Chains A and B, each alone.
Chain A
């Protein structure tokens, strides 16, 4: 076949004679093909250079991202909230949540065995259920493959199951409850996984022992049996040569697989155990993880709920209170766990540790807070009112010491109202909401039953969460008077000796604005106008101040704009205040005693604090200090006053004047023998003056010389027949002071009266005889009149406190033409205005 003649190809290949049939064109075409290949190779070369040189940096980054392809975030605990004594008001507890990854578990049979065993023997859950679920997922995965090939879609339900192959909080799947694992159990599982990975036999044995709950004897026995069977099978299978021989002769060998069942029977264990032990060397705990989650805990439950609020991890924007306003400080920085391969092919991980959020130190005092909450509850049980709210501040720096209203919830279970309120109360609230909120009624029109229900639930929740002190507005009434007096005094328009004559009313172009005392209070000095809460005199004073100064000082006292308190939900009441243009004579006159415009408790409290602390306006605030997790002080917000509104002299005068209000004037109910308390009452008619609904209030502070504590009590529409008396606001304040004074360690100035050590003072051995019972509740007022029935029922409904005949005589009070027993009734504006 070959050419007969020898060729000399290596030396002269070009001249080599072609073999027969190989034509010249064939070589030409071959050359063409080769040229095409060379071009293609060059193209690929260019592409490789492009990738390796120009894309190098970018792709190294991508690969490095892959490096940490198992990047998991480690949640950071939220910062604590402390009260001013260091008691923890809110903290974060770690929970471990079990996470199952079916995709990894079903990869190998022995992974699955390990996972099931961990489930059964370590975690103590139902391994059958897990097994069934894993099988279900495997089945759905297969179905998905077929469906993909056929171009079909799975049903939504199956899609959901398919997606769970990566990540699955088992058994949340079934009952929507997370399985929270104890920290010890979690560490046990992690330790087991570590032992299984170890190459030491002793470690492995220990892990297997715990995992399968078998003895060493059983392990070695089963291993020996399996080895024996394996050897037998290997022998039966034969080597390659015998197999080729079989292939030629067509003989078939019967090769048995390992008889796990028999071994299981022999060692009285189940088959899975035998399989697991047979594959001991490759057994790993895979696809069982634990995620740390932090749960927000409020150890004092309902205490200070309106200040603290609550934290909702899934909807942080719907959090409340401090949790919301300080969310960015409280929430720390999440850590990152990066798992990667080391060069010797081991899995290693680096952690960027999570940083705990900042700790908030607040000015809250849990004792005072709890006293206030207790007293509000007591009051609500005894008398009841539409709203009761109390703000307690330190006037010297503006920190809020306590703050509460009558709607309480438990931040630990903040959306569970049923456990705290009865259905009746909830219905009552709903009625109230419907009455107040016109937009809600509109929403309800045409709503289905279900929508109605969700609206009702959310409406009640919002109602309960709302902080009256910040979010509700009201007319402050006479409690505003100190501010009017302060500005007049500051401006020099009046002084201590200025005298005013009250004839019972003032006439503004046909509109008669009356003092509460229709006969008129007579002649009063400046302090007397406050003590008697005389409207007519105040109108005279404000006329001297004039509209521009009044408006200016109202703005300086920050009435009608947000105080900037560090709590969410504050309203400004700006639209409910007169602008400078609107302040005509009549408006100016009514404004002088706090009617005609609205404000919030927070604004009033901050402004009144200014009048008694030397004239400094502090932004009211809860948080006094922000500390990082290691205790370093990060920030001290609000530690300096914003402005000085009035001089110290004015402030001194006002303190004295307000002391007189308590000692001799309208606020005599709050007087506690031996203690210097200053205060100012307020009784304001609500919106529709014809309805005769009142907001009664009392601002009081102790001690007069240098106030430590300022208390502002507001009762909105007390459930009394006649509401127009601030008596109950005073009594509520007094109850609180009676409890707070011992706690504050204030000593009585008068001898023999010492509420701190009642038993030591010989004259007062038995506190109840002094007017309050063993629970510390006042039962008898200073004049011995029974205020409460022995069974705790309010006596007041039968005997209205504001009836003149029932009023206690107040011997200390200076002789005044009007009746001191009729404290602080509101303004009466004649109906002439309406005509």
Chain B
């Protein structure tokens, strides 16, 4: 594996750089199977983009390759970005980059609010000179990175600690004692002096409050613009807290409450056709989810056409590229509904193959989670795992009408630059984490190399 030649230190800056690259490629664990799976998915995605966009491109008077080439260029940029990100030590996210991401995302959203490009009646796109970006897509990896950094920080870790809870108990008892003795209770200021800043709060309280406070600006902005992204971000945050926290009851209660709320919403909408605080179009979507055939030519059109598309594929499909429904019949065939076209062209068999590749991808991420070298890596990988899982599940659930229609794209396969960028950035982070995994044989070699060389090895 190692072709490294013994050499002297500080020989030449060029040679040092070359050696560094060489070492990067040869040293440490690099999850090639993950890269392989992602490559498969991306190339398949390009194929599907060509299949679904060539007709509409011709209709719009462009070359049939127009959208495909655009997506391919984005993909190349994304691959370069992925490689770069995979070389950035993920521990940096907790320090410098954290603030940077926070500011950049906030800036993007504010810019979006000031001037955005309208697509499908809501502002989602931001013109950044040479290209358009969708801040809500970029927000997903951003939030994962920030949440992981927060949870890994001194505060995040501290909040979980029993010590804080013990302190809270002490303060409580002290207060009881004071009440018995007729003395005034401890003021917050006193508590801080006596027991430290976080003395008053139990660890878990702060844990939630802090997390949500941190994320609230993005959540708010996302909710106002794009409900589906907000749901996914919420689920990611909820899932990460669930996994990280040692509490169980509260999550069970929350999950039960959510399920109850969903049931109430469904029943209420089915009975009365409206729900307080919900916008009309959201109510309509739920209605259409329950009964798409009530308006087959209007609001239920996309759902029904999606189902027809999936069903008409049968077991083995019409053959790659010979979808009929993509010819202007199925809306959003290249984006949200791309899985339908996969089913139509490749049939149940092809769809299962795609899902199998996705399952392998998630399995690889689980592998990285379980072998993460530290807590920070663990958190990042968990966030990314949740993101991909929810996104894939929700996309397929929408196309098969298992849940109300929300615009969720299928990672790596749907057409769209911002989403691909976000996905590839996450893959880059995963690769960087995987690089920190120490394999026995490799490690032995590394140590041997360390002995030979005075160069500092990467952490």
B-chain residues with CB within 8 Å of residue A640 when the two chains form the complex: none
Which residues on A sit within 8 Å (CB–CB) of B172? none
Chain B positions 49-65 with a Cβ under 8 Å from a chain A Cβ: 54-55, 58, 60-61
CB proximity of B286 to chain A, nearest CB, Å: 16
In the complex, are the beta carbons of B396 and A6 less than 8 A apart?
A: no
Instruction: Determine the distance from Cα of A57 to Cα of B129 in the docked complex, in whole angstroms.
Output: 49
- Which residues in chain B, 293-334, are within 8 Å of chain A measured between CB atoms? 304-305, 307-315, 322, 324-325, 327, 329
CB distance from B410 to the nearest CB of A (A): 13
Give min CB distance, A237 to chain B, whole Å.
10
Q: Are B370 and A247 in contact (CB under 8 A)?
A: no
Residues 171-203 (chain A) with a chain B CB within 8 angstroms: none
Binds A, one of B178-186, B206-214, B374-382, B421-429: B374-382
Provide the A571-615 mask, 1 if CB < 8 A to any CB of B, else 0.
000000000000000000000000000000000000000000000
What residues on B are CB-neighbors of A51 within 8 Å?
307, 310-311, 343, 400
A9 interface residue per 8 A CB criterion: yes
A25 to B, closest residue via Cβ? B246
Chain A CB within 10 A, most for which of B281, B304, B312: B312
Q: Using known A-B contacts A26-B244, A30-B243, determine if residue A52 contacts B373 with beta carbons closer than 8 Å.
A: no
Residue of B at shortest CB range from A281? B61
Complex alpha-carbon distance, A13 and B343, angstroms: 37
Cα distance A55–B122 in the bound complex, in angstroms: 35
Query: B307 CB to closest chain A CB, in angstroms?
Result: 6
For B348, give its contact among A53, A60, A108 (CB under 8 Å).
A53
- A47–B400 touching, CB < 8 Å: yes
Kindly state the separation between the CA atoms of A148 and B439 in the bound complex, as whole angstroms: 60
Q: Are A33 and B307 in contact (CB under 8 A)?
A: no
Question: Which residue of the partner chain, among B281, B329, B440, contacts A6 with CB atoms under 8 Å?
Answer: B440
Chain B residue at minimum C-beta to C-beta distance from A244:
B130
- Minimum distance in angstroms from A801 CB to a CB of chain B: 74
Q: Are B307 and A345 in contact (CB under 8 A)?
A: no
Query: Contacts A22-B372, A48-B351, A62-B308 known; A33 to B239 CB distance under 8 Å?
Result: yes
- Out of B310, B311, B355, B438, which one reaches A41, CB within 8 Å? B355
Q: Give the chain B neighbours of A66 by CB distance below 8 A.
A: 305, 308, 324-325, 329
Kindly state whether residue B132 has any CB partner on chain A within 8 Å: no
Q: How would you classify the secondary structure of chain B's contact residues: helix, strand, loop or mixed? A: helix
Chain A residues bordering chain B, tally (CB within 8 A): 61
Point out the residues of chain B lying under 8 angstroms from A279, CB to CB. Answer: 61
Task: Determine if B243 and A33 form an interchain contact, defined as CB atoms under 8 angstroms apart.
Answer: yes
Shortest Cβ gap from B48 to chain A (Å): 16
State the interface size on chain B (CB cutoff 8 A). 72
Can you list, as one digit per residue, whether each of A35-72 has a CB less than 8 Å from chain B (1) or not (0)? Answer: 00100110111011101110110111011001101000
State whether B348 touches A52 (Cβ < 8 A).
yes
Smallest CB gap from B310: residue in A: A51
Are the CB atoms of A55 and B243 closer together than 8 Å? no
* B397 x A19 contact (CB < 8 A): no
CB atoms of B439 and A27 under 8 A apart? no
Asked if A2 is at the interface (CB within 8 A of a chain B CB), the reply is yes
Q: Is B443 an interface residue (CB 8 A)?
A: yes
Confirm or deny: A227 has a beta carbon within 8 angstroms of a beta carbon on chain B. Answer: no
The minimal Cβ–Cβ distance linking B299 to chain A, given in whole angstroms, is 11
Task: Check A34 for interface membership: any CB of B closer than 8 A.
Answer: yes
Note all chain A residues with C-beta closer than 8 A to B372.
Answer: 19, 22
**Is A442 located at the chain interface by the 8 A CB criterion?**
no
CA distance A108 to B311 in the complex (A): 33
**Do A34 and B310 touch across chains, with their CB atoms under 8 A apart?**
no
For the complex with contacts A40-B397, A59-B310, A240-B130, 9 further pairs of A-B residues with Cβ separation under 8 Å are: A7-B371, A9-B438, A13-B367, A21-B374, A22-B378, A51-B307, A53-B314, A66-B305, A282-B60
Which chain B residues have a beta carbon within 8 Å of chain A's beta carbons? 54-55, 58, 60-61, 91, 121, 128-130, 152, 157, 160, 239, 242-244, 246, 280-281, 304-305, 307-315, 322, 324-325, 327, 329, 343, 347-348, 351-352, 355, 359, 362, 366-367, 369-378, 382, 386, 389, 393, 396-397, 400, 402, 436-440, 443-444, 459
A and B contact pairs by CB, cutoff 8 A, 9 listed: A3-B374, A7-B437, A8-B440, A22-B374, A25-B246, A40-B397, A52-B315, A66-B329, A247-B128
